[in-house]
Amino acid sequence: NAGVTQTPKFQVLKTGQSMTLQCAQDMNHNSMYWYRQDPGMGLRLIYYSASEGTTDKGEVPNGYNVSRLNKREFSLRLESAAPSQTSVYFCASKSRGTDTQYFGPGTRLTVL
């Protein structure tokens, strides 16, 4: 039982490049979330998916897209990376009927 896994762990991009951050959970959770963490700002919600087939914007969705591929996987895509998207990205998941989110180890992204 690996919990929530994220790939890659580290990534460096040039401005304008695109990439997809992958997240998978093996806990049969319904809800999944993407956050970004920046110094002094805590974690801010980018997008979330309450259940398979649904996605909704969070606090800071601009510049990102998401896909809930199936119940296990929730990907985050940067179509044209900008230096302002340099951050640590965390994926989380939650089971229906509970209120606790479980977090992955994070992806550290640098955009030059």
Q: Which of 83, 97, 89, 111 is nearest to 31 (CA)?
A: 97
What is the closest distance, in whole angstroms, from the C-beta atom of residue 81 to other proteins in the complex? 22
Query: Which chain residues interact with other proteins by CB under 8 A?
Result: 4, 31, 33, 35, 40-45, 48, 50-51, 54, 56, 58, 90, 92, 94, 96, 99-106
- Which of 1/100 has CB closer to other proteins? 100
Cα(102)–Cα(112) distance, integer angstroms: 30
- Which of 17/105 has CB closer to other proteins? 105
What is the closest distance, in whole angstroms, from the C-beta atom of residue 1 to other proteins in the complex? 16
What is the closest distance, in whole angstroms, from the C-beta atom of residue 4 to other proteins in the complex? 8
Cα(4)–Cα(26) distance, integer angstroms: 7
